[in-house]
Amino acid sequence: MCFAGVLAKMSSRYLCHRVVCGIALVWGSSFLPVPISAFQPQAKAQEAAVQTSARYLISVHGLHALTANVAYRLASNAYSGVAQVQTAGLFGLFVQTDMRMQGTGQFLPNGLAEPAQYDSAGSYNRAQSHLHMVYKAGVPQITVQEPALDNREDVPPTERAGSQDVVAVLVGLLHQMQTQKQCQEVPQKLFDGLRLSTLNVRNTGFERPPAAASKEWGQEAWTCNFVLQQVRGFKANSQLSKLRQPQIGRVWFEDIPHIGMSVVRMEIEHPKMGHIVIRLDATPTQAP
**The pLDDT of residue 152:** 87
**The pLDDT of residue 194:** 92
Closest among 260, 254, 257, 258 to 280, alpha carbons compared: 254
Asked if 24 and 190 touch (Cβ cutoff 8 Å), the reply is: no
Give me the phi and psi of 124, to 5 degrees please. -135, 100
Banded pLDDT at 96 (limits 50, 70, 90): confident
| Weakest mean pLDDT among 42-46, 248-252, 272-276 | 42-46
Query: CB within 8 A of 204, min separation 6: which ones?
Result: 223, 224, 225, 250
Q: How far apart are CA 56 and CA 213, in angstroms?
A: 11
Burial of residue 95, with CB atoms counted within 10 A of its CB: 0-12 exposed, 13-18 middle, 19 or more buried:
buried
Residue 2 CB-half CA count within 13 A: 0
Cα separations (Å) of 15 from 147, 154, 266, 272, 273?
A: 17, 21, 16, 10, 9
pTM: 0.83
Q: How far apart are CA 187 and CA 204, in angstroms?
A: 16
Closest among 69, 66, 78 to 113, alpha carbons compared: 78
What mean pLDDT comes out for the span 95-120?
94
Residue 8 has pLDDT above 60, yes or no: no
Average pLDDT, the chain: 83
**The pLDDT of residue 28:** 30
**The pLDDT of residue 151:** 85
**The pLDDT of residue 21:** 43
Residue 166: its H or E element: helix 166-180
Omega prior to 147 cis, within 30 of 0? yes
What pLDDT digit, counting tens, does each position of 181-195 carry?
999 999 999 999 999
What pLDDT digit, counting tens, does each position of 55-92 carry?
999 999 888 999 999 999 999 999 999 999 999 977 77
Banded pLDDT at 37 (limits 50, 70, 90): very low
**The pLDDT of residue 51:** 96
Q: How far apart are CA 209 and CA 147, in angstroms?
A: 40
